[in-house]
Structure 1
Amino acid sequence: MPLVREPLKPFAPLRRSLAALAASCLLASIAAPVVQAQTARKPSLYENGRPLTADEREARKAEDARWGGPAFLGRIQTQAEFQQLARVYNAGTPLEIPHVLFVIDRKRANRIYYIHTPRYALHETFARERRLLSGDKAALIAQYKAADRRLLFGTLSWQNGLPGYTYEFWEGDLLTPELLALTRDRLAATFYEPLRFKSNSTVQEQTARNAGIDFVTQEALLREQTFLPLNTGRAQGRLRIVKSLDDTPDLSPTDIAVLDEVPVALTPVAGLVTQRPSTLLSHVNLLAKGWRIPNAYVRDAVAALREHDGQWVELTVSSNGYQVQRIAQPAAPAPKTASSAPLPKPDLSVRAIKPLTGMTTRDSRHCGVKAANLGALKAVLPPSASVPDGFCIPFAQYAAYMKQLGVPARVAALERRPDFAGDANVRRSELAALRQTIVNGQPDPALAASWRDRWQKQLQGRGVFVRSSSNSEDLPGFSGAGLYTTVPNVTQADALARAVRTVWASVYNFEAYEARRAAGIAQDGVVMAVLVQQAAASDSSGVMITRDPFDASRRHVTYLSAKRGLGIKVVEGRRQAEQLMYSSWSKAVQVLSRSAEDTQLVAAAGGGVREVPIGGARQVLDDALVARLAAVGRQVKKRLGNVDQDIEWAVQGDNILILQARPYIDGSR
């Protein structure tokens, strides 16, 4: 029998609130052909971006006529009456969401209508049929924006996670304390059980406080979540419970790893389950998307899956839950050839150091996509944001140094050895020795002097981050997130030269080599440029995606993860970051989680970083800063070919800094 584990309740923070759905369908065109559990999407009557025609309205009326029972009730006195009016998403599963739309008519003595919700997909449909609403789109929008509006459009639903009933409004509804208090009183007088207000934005939270009304947040529901589909899909492999990656050096692309916590880096695997929550934008979660493997957070996964440890299984992660099914060991897949994923051909004719200022995306031929993108953005982002100054040590200098050390011949000899090809432990050991050779080698003294002179003259010898910018990362089909090494806050000239060699050596990081091997990338085609960039003593930092990562149709949404101080821990993903959603349509900020960090990283005076305690509130970003960051994200996306971006950012005082922008890969299946 298959083992099935599903969440006990809807993932409220990442599903769209039900009232929010109804309203946003009115205010924008949303293509949503099917309901998706984690976002509670429903088909939109406005998905074509226009109002219904007269013929379509008549067809809708004919459809409505098929429903039996009352079109609405003035009060709900029993659970049976609630169920009679309710529409249910994901019926029969732990994710079912029974809900009833309601309308309050302030012009008619605050009369309340509990609507037969399967019959009326939108508040507007009911209100126009009952002649409560007339006029154009502006008249409709006023029912969500105006303080003196005639109608209040809300949703009443059952929350398994509380448990209990809640009422809510569209995330962009500009409720006043008076309107919210009115809603509370009318519901209390006409509904058979107590209700709690569920806020869908930070503005609504403040409105509830001003009205003296208790409320439940999406963050509170998130804390009770037992399952989150980080990447949907299906895979077959040997299930392995992994307490520590250091103690499990033989993970292979045919393993399905069940991890106690999210690691900083990971070699390719067939599937991934973690039992501790982390930011969606951690390097490991981004790699899983790039590898197109199923990936899920499951509370207590180790205990739930222990009986399958060491067995061959099929793992399926869907938006509703996950399933593990025992299978016979499948035949070994054919290995990928080196032509499976060709790399951009590097231009090794450019040997001179290139400052970021003046670079364009075409410079990726000799400096890599990371450096070239930042150079292109440096000229166009001000005044809304800026890119810290820096310079690129091009591919040609790396290639010359590798030739000096005989690295290409050494790698070719290793790849001809059967034990190197067949044993991951041998590869791990040999690659570690190779990295040590590269780090300890001595480059051309004139080159090292040119790095030092450029650092002192262009960047005044201030602290810098020394970053990778290879031709095998930040690509449309291969992100390479977290595979290569960054050396933070380098402050000494001799440390700068060693940091450059360390980044060069990271081409042969075990995880990087294995990821390229699994993707069919030829190892001899990889070259590394180095980005030397001024360090920013950031107050906060993080990552954002320029669309809803759970729903590709919601391109008006920006998803952000943030922490105090330097952003290394955000992309590591070991602790829960502050997670937020911002909609450019509703202008609403939705809090998914506040940061679980009790320390932050800051630059150390002598170089490197140090950890210091965090005092005070856990809130990292306020609403105004969230809106500014989202606007910068949209600008970055526009400047980089209008392709959705995964962006690393920092905030220093009142300034937004962009540290990296790579194409966002959605590897769900």
Structure 2
Amino acid sequence: MKNDSNRTRKLGTAPAWLSGLALCVVAVAPTPVGAQLARKPSYYQQQNQPQPEGPAAQLVPRPAVPASMPALRSQGDFDTLARVYDAGTPMQLAHVLFAIDRQAKPARMHYIDTPRFQLHVRFLRDTRLTPNTIKREIDRNYLVPDRRFLFGTLSWQQNIGTFTYEFWEGDRLTVPLLREAEAQVKASFFAPVKFKTNSTLHERIAKEAGIDFVSQEALIREQPYLPMNLGTATGRVRIVNDAFGLNALLPDDIAVLREVPINLPPVAGVLTERPSTALSHVNLLAKGWGIPNAYVRDAATVLKAQAGQWVALKVAASGYQLRRLSPEEIAALPPRAVRAAATGALPGSGKAAKPDLRETRLLPLASLRARHSVQCGSKAANLGAVLAARIPSTTVPDGFCIPFAHYDRFMRSNGLAERIARMQQQPGFAGDPQVRQKALAQLRDEIVQWPVDAATAAAWRAAWQSQLGGGGVFVRSSSNSEDLPGFSGAGLYTTVPNVKTGDGLELAVKKVWASVFNPEAWEARSAAGFGAESVLMGVFVQTAIDSTNAGVMITRDPFDAGHPHVTYISAKRGIGIRVVEGKRVAEQVMYSSWSKAIQVLSRSAEETALQLDKDGGVKEVPVEVGRHVLTDELVVRLANVGAAVKRTFNAVDQDIEWATVGDKIVLLQARPYVERRR
């Protein structure tokens, strides 16, 4: 079970169906698995999926095939025993299970009739090789050195044009076991074959054994397609080459992005030419809106003929499908206003948390609990709850909350409501994104210039000096329209880093307040049904830390909700501002508390990192290229901390911002992980 249900899978080279596009760009064969891990589908998961009906359900009888072969001496032998997942798609994977019986003298290789025996254990029992072996004895063959069997899979990796053999990521391989497997496979197979590693343990063992290998990370880098958020959408294809095109996007557009932007206005679907991480702002927005999102190599070139056309898009685990709509289908589409209301609208999310404006005190972090979200916003309140949980081996930088009441009083005294009303009455504001952007920028500039009441500003400075020692601080947003159960709001508002003066603190607070009117925030809230008048901004002033590493993690597999035992971790060196930008792929790993395996999706290749500047703000510094950000020990510690944070919030999966300083894990934020599919 283990070896089959956790097998990694591989994409193909740029196939013929990517050229000469007409009505149907790609045919898909959906599977319920996380393709970001290049994971082979679990046989057990496939059994639980709806089965095809009609002619597709009629199986073609197979000729008589032996239960196993001691060797595969030709391509024909391989094809005879192979099972093929996702045939004809970029995820196609032909593979044959094998079992090496180490008890036989000499050791005996069994290449298994894989369509007939989908699991190693079925082969053992059905062929009477081990007819009465209990599960505990079978499991020993993955976990101990003196096992009887080595269970593996041999696959054709079409994207790199070679065969590979591999083991379940949780297999506790040793150097002698791997050397034995290497000798047996190469002596019994007709073509060159490489070992494929599925965990950091496997990589270490291969290096110690002196065996050449191909890593899962290397295979993922070659994939021409990565589904980030599965789903379907109808819209008009818009190829976006620059910021001007980004600003012109409409809610019924399917955006084809040449670059991964930091933010994105609400759209119907997203295809990008550059891969990004599961926690890039663009992907978090896509998940929150419930829209399809995928990386497609050379997307703008591949989809050039579709530009401006109305299409139906489907992003599936094994491929994507883009079909032009007929004139009749286009005529039947609802009006744009109806489509815009549907795009990204989340059930129950269009209601910001009702604020309590009676609280005017500056509340220190140590006093905050979840109930204070009505005064300070969920971001600050959640961090207070994390501090109170006293999670071992973690720290939370001290800070204080400037409550909603300060924002409300400031905006009322400066006539914000009337200013918004005039802005919305401008010609073109409702229908033209570029008109909105210009008007919102003007409003933000005005807000930053408006004066703060002298007594209020003095109170901020006093708290900064007395509680935080007048040192550098991050001034962060904590509105009543983010970190909600149905609406993340990730990346919508402004953080001002490493503020070091009293005047700078006052300006930074106003910048965070003004970010309520960031264009991406305005568009996202509009799509989710938030009225501008219902949004208030709290501010969290937090001690700045000069982190060694920083990142984000999700307390489950973001690519497959069926893997709650998995923690996804994304990291970069230095301060974590860039982790969620998506412009460069961060280091990404997955840790399974079940298999205890660490799987690498990508390693960071950056040459610079951000650190605190002694004069305020941040600076870019060179770093050693090629050094791993995440050690295995740190990955396990982070996963355990993530599980503790999740328990703090009643077992709701969390999106957690973290950093490291020395041997301490620093917790900077915890918000509900929001995902919605349409």
Query: Quick check: TM above 0.5?
Result: yes
- Could you list the runs of 5+ residues in structure 2 that have no partner in the other structure? 1-21, 52-58
Q: 1:381, CA displacement in angstroms?
A: 3.7
Q: 362, 378, 381: which one pairs with 1:369? A: 378
1:169 aligns with 2:167: yes
Q: How does 1:477-496 map to 2 (within 5 A)?
A: 477-496=486-505
Distance 2:304 2:129 in 1: 60
Question: In structure 1, what is the equivalent of residue 77 of structure 2?
Answer: 81
1:293 matched residue in structure 2: 291
- Which residue does the alignment assign to 1:72? 68
SS at match of 1:392: strand
Please report how far the alpha carbon of residue 68 of structure 1 lies from its aligned counterpart in structure 2 after TM superposition. 3.9
**Do the aligned partners of 2:473 and 2:542 also contact (CA within 8 Å) in 1?**
yes
Q: Is residue 467 from structure 1 mapped to residue 506 from structure 2 by the alignment?
A: no
Taking the aligned partners of 2:153 and 2:468, their CA distance within structure 1 comes to: 56
Q: 2: distance between equivalents of 1:13 and 1:424?
A: 33
Amino acid at match of 2:146: D
- Mapping of residues 509-548 of structure 1, within 5 Å: 509-548=518-557
Task: Give the partner amino acid of 2:306.
Answer: H
In structure 1, the residue matched to 2:248 is: 250
Corresponding letter in the other structure for 1:16: R
For 1:612 and 1:203, how far apart are their aligned partners in 2?
32
Q: CA RMSD in A?
A: 2.4
Aligned match of 1:192: 190
Q: 1-side partners of 2:436 and 2:62: how far apart?
A: 67
> 1:235-384 residue pairs with structure 2 within 5 A?
235-246=233-244, 248-327=246-325, 328=327, 329=330, 330-333=333-336, 334=338, 336=341, 341-384=350-393
Say yes or no: does 1:104 pair with 2:113: no
1:425 to 428, 434, 437: 434
1:419 aligns to what SS in structure 2? Answer: coil
What is the Cα deviation at residue 13 of structure 1? 5.7
Report the TM-score when normalising by structure 1. 0.90
* Partner SS for 1:422: coil
The residue type paired with residue 92 of structure 2 is E
Amino acid of the structure 1 residue aligned with 2:38: R
Deviation for aligned residue 1:157: 1.2
Deviations 1:275-317 (Å, cap 9, x if unpaired)?
0112221111100111111111111111111222223222222
Q: Does 1:445 align with 2:454?
A: yes
Residue 176 of structure 2 aligns to a residue whose secondary structure is helix
In structure 2, the CA distance between the partners of 1:451 and 1:659, relative to structure 1 (3 Å rule), is: same
1:122 corresponding residue in structure 2: 119
The answer for the alignment partner of 2:230 in structure 1 is: 232
Q: Which residue of 2 aligns with 1:40?
A: none
CA distance in 1, matches of 2:359, 2:34: 51
1:295/1:317 contact within 8 Å kept: yes
Equivalent residues of 2:607, 2:625 under 8 A apart: no
Q: CA deviation at 1:668?
A: 3.0
Change in Cα spacing, 1:464 to 1:35, as seen in structure 2 (3 Å) is farther
> Kindly tell me: are residues 31 and 383 of structure 1, through their superposed partners in 2, closer, same or farther at Cα, counting changes over 3 Å?
farther
Aligned to 2:48: 33
Report the equivalent of 1:39.
none
For the pair 1:581 / 2:594, whether they are aligned, the reply is: no
> 2:429 aligns to what SS in structure 1?
helix
Q: Which sits farther off after the overlay, 372-381 or 424-433?
A: 424-433
Per-residue displacement from partner, 1:86-120 (whole Å, max 9, x unpaired)? Answer: 12211233422111111111111211111111222
Measured in 1, the distance between the counterparts of 2:255 and 2:382 equals 34
- Equivalent residue, structure 1, for 2:19: none
1:145-199 residue CA offsets vs partner (Å, 9 max, x unmatched): 1111111111111111221211111111111111111111111222212211001
Counterpart amino acid of 2:109?
Answer: I
Are the counterparts in 2 of residues 11 and 225 from structure 1 also a CA contact under 8 Å? no
Cα distance in 2, alignment partners of residues 12 and 240 from structure 1: 25
Letter in 2 for 1:112: M
Q: Is the 8 A contact 2:36 2:228 kept in 1?
A: no
Is the contact made by 1:11 and 1:221 (CA closer than 8 Å) also made in structure 2?
no
Distance 1:543 1:6 in 2: 34
1:67 CA drift (Å): 8.7
Cross-structure match for 2:201: 203
Specify the code of the residue in structure 1 equivalent to 2:117. Answer: Y
Is structure 2 residue 643 aligned with structure 1 residue 634? yes
Displacement of 1:667 in angstroms is: 2.4
Aligned length: 633
Contact 2:271/2:294 (<8 A) preserved: yes
Shift, 1:542, TM fit = 0.9
Q: What is the TM-score of this pair, normalised by structure 2?
A: 0.89
Displacement of 1:137? 3.2
Percent sequence identity is 55
**Aligned ranges 1:598-609 → 2 under 5 Å:** 598-609=607-618
**Structure 1 contact 35–89 (Cα < 8 Å) conserved:** no
Residue in structure 2 matched with residue 2 of structure 1 by the alignment: 23
1:570 aligns to 2:593 (yes or no): no
Alpha-carbon displacement from aligned partner over 1:263-286 (angstroms, at most 9, x marks no partner): 111111111111011222111110
Farther-moved stretch of structure 1 (404-413 vs 448-457): 404-413
Equivalence for 1:216: 214
Paired residue type of 1:470 = S
Letter in 2 for 1:372: A
1:386 aligns with 2:395: yes
Q: What does the per-residue CA deviation read over 1:334-378, in whole Å, with 9 as the maximum and x for residues that have no partner?
A: 264999712211111111111111211111111111111100001
Counterpart CA distance in 2 for 1:397 and 1:147 is 65
C-alpha distance in structure 2 between counterparts of 1:607 and 1:530, whole Å: 19
Which amino acid in structure 1 is aligned with residue 122 of structure 2? T
CA-CA distance at 1:412 after TM superposition: 2.7
Give CA deviations for 1:116-148 in whole Å, capped at 9, x if unaligned.
Answer: 112222212222342437543332221111111
**Structure 1 11/359 Cα, relative in aligned 2: closer, same or farther at 3 Å?**
closer
Q: Name which of 10, 34, 37 aligns with 1:14.
A: 37
Contact 1:231 1:667 in 2 (8 A): no
Gap change, CA 1:6 and 1:567, over 3 Å in 2: farther
* TM-aligned CA distance change 1:635 to 1:31, over 3 Å: farther
1:615 aligns with 2:624: yes
How many angstroms apart in 1 are the aligned matches of 2:212 and 2:35?
18
Match of 1:559 in 2: 568
Q: Is the 8 A contact 1:32 1:553 kept in 2?
A: no
